[in-house]
Structure 1
Amino acid sequence: MKKTLLLFVFVLTTVVAAQAQSPRFGVRVGANYSGLSGDDPTAYTDRMFGFHAGITSQFAVSSDNFFAIQPEVLFSKKGAESKDDNRKIKLSYIDVPVLAKINAGPLYFEAGPQVSFRIGGDIEQDGNNIVDDLDFYKSTSFGYAAGVGLASTPLGLSVGVRYNGDISKLNDTDNISDRRNDLFMLTVGYMFPSR
């Protein structure tokens, strides 16, 4: 199922990119406000701040750039903390969203699937690492992203908000509660070349 979804996203992106006009590339950075959702998030009930940074691209599908496909590769810090802030779970991911984007003047809307690859993480208690290796969490997760923002096409700048939610659980272990990443992003992008 996961390999089929990955293959579908790759083929769709390749086909659209092959038919699209003059791709644009850029960078994206911003703040994350992350938490864990699920049946029982146990000790990690509060959200925490992180960041994201990476590269973005945009392939216009329509001649007026009203509809575009926007794949990205982002490094993203996620996690959650206890209510008293003394226990934190910190997770590092490479997120690869493939978004359908509607450019309606300065306003844009985006939504699409996302695959995330966990590249690190730890659990902290009172500022000290108590678990350095989170192998009981899956290395790959699938989810979705949706957002809205403002873009200045002549300058190449954009500012937006985005929500990311995981469909797959963080782990498959029966004795660990059902947790999923849950993330709000404030993001700033710059596309080359500006138009």
Structure 2
Amino acid sequence: MKTKLSLLIVTICLAASHAYSQAEFAIGIKAGPNFASLDTKASAGENYKSRTGFHGGAFALIKLSKIGIQPEIIFSQQGSKVEFNGADIESNYNYMNVPIILKLYTIAGINIQAGPQFGFITKAEETFDYNGDTTTEDIKNQLKGSDISLGLGLGWDLPFGLTIDGRYNLGLSKINDAPDRPEAKNQVWQFSVGYKLFKFGN
């Protein structure tokens, strides 16, 4: 009995040692373009177009063998463009997003990504352009303060600490809070280049 228990303890210790030897912890920064739009049931919904913006922030990676968890803090410019009743309307929304991404590594650092994203709005404006007459309105009080999305994507961890990501953030929650505004959800394509500033382990 003691021999079996000793063998079990040794096996667990060896497994833990092997897992630790494969572990990686890294902290880095990332940035890139956004291509954002809104999923809406408004009568002009088919006319909504993508708005190009920027995102950037920091991430931490905890990787154990083929599985990684990557929480991030990301500033993100979102919104959309639409032409309605002869006016060009651009919605400019700024969010602080907190994705918590699960990464499944395949070969050569290529990874599949999925996980929830929690967003907090910091700024919301709409710009109306009608026959060259432009006005901008602050509409932050007409939007909900938080947003939930599902992040899905692919990434590549390159040598020397470089990373490349392509991710689609599918809005799960409705963002409008005023009764006279149509239902809408965020939709954002993101393409990022990152760099691991600090890395510990393999």
TM (norm. structure 1) is 0.80
Report the Cα distance in structure 1 between the residues aligned to 2:137 and 2:162, rounded to whole angstroms: 40
SS of 2:140's equivalent in the other structure is coil
Please state which structure has a larger fraction of its residues in helix: 2
Aligned residue in 1 for 2:163: 158
2:194 counterpart of 1:189: yes
Report the Cα distance in structure 1 between the residues aligned to 2:100 and 2:77, rounded to whole angstroms: 19
The equivalences for 1:123-162 within 5 A come to: 123-126=126-129, 128-152=134-158, 154-162=159-167
Confirm or deny: 8 A CA contact 1:25 1:191 kept in the other structure. yes
SS of 1:86's equivalent in the other structure is strand
Report the Cα distance in structure 1 between the residues aligned to 2:81 and 2:43, rounded to whole angstroms: 10
Q: What is the count of residue pairs matched by the alignment? A: 173
* Pick aligned residue for 1:118 from 95, 117, 121: 121
Report the Cα distance in structure 1 between the residues aligned to 2:87 and 2:77, rounded to whole angstroms: 17
Confirm or deny: 8 A CA contact 1:122 1:129 kept in the other structure. no
**Max radius of gyration: which structure?**
2
Aligned residue in 1 for 2:79: 79
Percent identity (aligned) = 25
SS of 1:135's equivalent in the other structure is helix
Q: Structure 1, unaligned stretches of length 5 or more?
A: 1-18
SS of 2:48's equivalent in the other structure is coil
Question: How far off its partner does 1:136 sit?
Answer: 1.1
Report the Cα distance in structure 1 between the residues aligned to 2:43 and 2:190, rounded to whole angstroms: 21
Report the Cα distance in structure 2 between the residues aligned to 1:149 and 1:124, rounded to whole angstroms: 35
Question: How far off its partner does 1:85 sit?
Answer: 8.2
Question: How far off its partner does 1:176 sit?
Answer: 1.9
Confirm or deny: 8 A CA contact 1:31 1:49 kept in the other structure. yes
Confirm or deny: 8 A CA contact 1:97 1:112 kept in the other structure. yes
Question: How far off its partner does 1:86 sit?
Answer: 2.7
SS of 2:160's equivalent in the other structure is coil
2:178 counterpart of 1:176: no
Aligned residue in 2 for 1:68: 68
Q: Report which stretch shifted further, 100-109 or 40-49.
A: 40-49
Aligned residue in 1 for 2:50: 47
Report the Cα distance in structure 2 between the residues aligned to 1:41 and 1:148, rounded to whole angstroms: 34
Q: One-letter code of the match for 2:74?
A: L
Q: One-letter code of the match for 1:40?
A: A
Question: How far off its partner does 1:49 sit?
Answer: 0.2
Q: Structure 2, unaligned stretches of length 5 or more?
A: 1-19
Confirm or deny: 8 A CA contact 1:41 1:178 kept in the other structure. no
Question: How far off its partner does 1:134 sit?
Answer: 2.1
TM (norm. structure 2) is 0.78
Aligned residue in 1 for 2:95: 93
